[in-house]
Structure formats: structure tokens, C-alpha cells
């Protein structure tokens, strides 16, 4: 699975999670799409990326439009980048099952 991290998450995450999610990206490195949810949605869909975000905007879009792209919503609140990385690493099985299920558009991850 390739991930696209939203602007509300650290740009360091693609590198720190590169061992388990190679080719992942952050919206800040994708040509000015960071402040436009519809552009982020389109970019993720076109490039085979699952959107990872802490806010509900993409949750609503996933329910309205369905995949692709798939959306992973982190329900973790204010925390460190290391906490976000730890949450994602602790949910690798759930994320693999989510990726494999073409009928599911949204995955909520909680600590």
C-alpha cells in the first residue's frame, strides 16, 4: 500500500514509515495540492495512494464517492509524530486487510 499523508500530518512520515510503506508521499511534495481536498483526492486516486488524515473531510468524501482512493482516518488527537508512526505500525494487519478488501472505502485507526 502506498500512502498519501495529509497536511495535518508530519512531512517526515513517508520517510520514517518507508520500510513498511515504500513509495508513500506527503501532500507538501505533490505540486501545490496541499490546500485543496479535491486535488488531493484526484492525485491519490490517479497515483494509487490511500489518503491518511486526522480530519473528517476525506471520511465524508469516501462515503460519498467510494474508492478509489481509500481513506485512513487517524483518530489520535494532538500527539507527536512518533505517536502517529507507532499507531500506524501497530495497525499493519488491519491496514493490509483494508487494502485487500475492494468493497471498503474507509478505515478508522484508534490507539
| pLDDT band, residue 21 (cuts 50/70/90) | very high
- The tens digit of pLDDT for each residue in 56-97 reads 999 999 999 999 999 999 999 899 999 999 999 999 999 999
**Over residues 35-44, mean pLDDT:** 95
Looking at the predicted structure, is the pLDDT value of residue 38 above 90? yes
| pLDDT band, residue 25 (cuts 50/70/90) | very high
Mean pLDDT, the chain, rounded, equals 96
pLDDT of residue 65: 93
Examine residue 66 and say whether the peptide bond preceding it is cis (omega within 30 degrees of 0): no
Report which of 58, 63, 62, 61 is spatially closest to residue 74, judged by C-alpha positions: 58
pLDDT of residue 34: 85
Amino acid at each position: 500500500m502506498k500512502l498519501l499523508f495529509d497536511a495535518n500530518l508530519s512531512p517526515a512520515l513517508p520517510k520514517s514509515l518507508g520500510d513498511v510503506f515504500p513509495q508513500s508521499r506527503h501532500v507538501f511534495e505533490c505540486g501545490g495540492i496541499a490546500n485543496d481536498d479535491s486535488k488531493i483526492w484526484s492525485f491519490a486516486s490517479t497515483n494509487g495512494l490511500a489518503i491518511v488524515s486526522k480530519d473528517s473531510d476525506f471520511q465524508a468524501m469516501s462515503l460519498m464517492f467510494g474508492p478509489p482512493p481509500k481513506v485512513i482516518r487517524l483518530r489520535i488527537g494532538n500527539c507527536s509524530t512518533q505517536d502517529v508512526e507507532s499507531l500506524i505500525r501497530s495497525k499493519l494487519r488491519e491496514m493490509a486487510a483494508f487494502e485487500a478488501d475492494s468493497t471498503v472505502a474507509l478505515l478508522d485507526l484508534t490507539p
